[in-house]
């Protein structure tokens, strides 16, 4: 968040009060409107890494502020790709209508299977200024233990002054099996990974340095209770 500039009282005396007597402050030489200088955004040495990822929390470590996440990826199906290529060749060589239709059906079938879904897990740490938000406010109960509605003022207080979506939350609000959306950041000007010339594998220490960090955790859904 931007910090307020020091000397706010003097700024009020020097610039705000004279504004009541003069609508616009102009440079006497050029008679042009003087534009205020824009406050420079603090550079934390990080840039956004790809698109936000929707995942499920497997485990979390509050002391390290780290999460182990399970997310779905699409992996290429080489067998389906080869089968589609063969079907495309059969279509080019088809001499009858039935043979052509059969090849077209196989092309469509293998195209639908070009990728398979698989689950991957990764453990990621958070940035120093990470933020946690939740899609829905926590449930509110009345004196009788029944669900109650928030007032507009109460909802505004729960959202806070941030322009981020959802409502304020803390790391302590995170639990296993929750569905979250995480925004990832990585260091600027990342060096190329070091590859072992013998094994052709990336150096483990380099892999750790290349890992992105979580800057925003957005809670999308709570874990289901048994029978829920």
Residue corresponding to tokens 């999308």: 220
Judge whether residue 113 has pLDDT over 60: yes
Do 100 and 199 share a domain, yes or no?
no
Mean pLDDT of the 125-139 span: 93
Do 133 and 187 share a domain, yes or no?
yes
Per the domain annotation, does 160 fall within a domain? yes
Per the domain annotation, does 216 fall within a domain? yes
Q: Judging by DSSP bridges, how do beta strands 167-169 and 115-134 pair with one another?
A: antiparallel
Q: Is the separation of the CB atoms in 173 and 210 below 8 Å?
A: no
What pLDDT is stored for residue 35 in this prediction? 53
Do 149 and 183 share a domain, yes or no?
yes
* Degrees, nearest 5: CA angle 34-35-38: 150
What pLDDT is stored for residue 6 in this prediction? 41
Encode pLDDT of 49-91 as tens digits.
888 999 999 999 999 999 999 999 889 999 999 999 999 999 9
Per the domain annotation, does 13 fall within a domain? no
What pLDDT is stored for residue 228 in this prediction? 47
Residue 182 CA to residue 52 CA, distance in Å, equals: 5
The two three-digit tokens of residue 200, written as one number: 């052709």
Give me the domain span that covers residue 147: 46-72+120-221
Q: Which of 160, 159, 210, 222 is nearest to 185 (CA)?
A: 210
Do 89 and 158 share a domain, yes or no?
no
Do 62 and 151 share a domain, yes or no?
yes
Encode pLDDT of 23-44 as tens digits.
444 555 555 554 544 444 455 6
Do 137 and 153 share a domain, yes or no?
yes
Do 109 and 211 share a domain, yes or no?
no
Do 93 and 154 share a domain, yes or no?
no
Per the domain annotation, does 40 fall within a domain? no
State the sign of the Cα–Cα–Cα–Cα dihedral 114, 117, 118, 119.
Answer: positive
């Amino acid at each position: 968040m931007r910090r307020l500039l020091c000397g706010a009282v003097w700024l009020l005396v020097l610039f705000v009060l004279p504004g009541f007597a003069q609508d616009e402050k102009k440079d006497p030489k050029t008679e042009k409107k003087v534009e205020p200088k824009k406050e420079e955004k603090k550079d934390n040495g990080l840039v956004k890494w790809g698109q936000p990822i929707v995942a499920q929390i497997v485990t979390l470590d509050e002391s390290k502020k780290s999460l182990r996440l399970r997310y779905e990826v699409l992996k290429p199906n080489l067998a389906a790709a080869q089968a589609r290529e063969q079907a495309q060749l059969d279509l080019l060589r088809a001499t009858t209508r039935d043979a052509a239709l059969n090849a077209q059906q196989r092309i469509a079938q293998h195209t639908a299977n070009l990728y398979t879904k698989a689950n991957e897990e990764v453990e990621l740490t958070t940035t120093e200024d990470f933020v946690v938000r939740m899609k829905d406010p926590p449930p509110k109960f009345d004196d009788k233990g029944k669900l109650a509605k928030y007032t507009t003022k109460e909802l505004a207080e729960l959202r806070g002054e941030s322009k981020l979506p959802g409502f304020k939350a803390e790391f302590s609000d995170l639990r296993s099996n929750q569905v979250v959306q995480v925004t990832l950041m990585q260091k600027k000007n990342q060096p190329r990974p070091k590859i072992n010339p013998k094994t052709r594998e990336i150096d483990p220490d380099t892999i750790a340095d290349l890992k992105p960090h979580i800057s925003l955790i957005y809670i999308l859904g709570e874990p289901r209770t048994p029978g829920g």
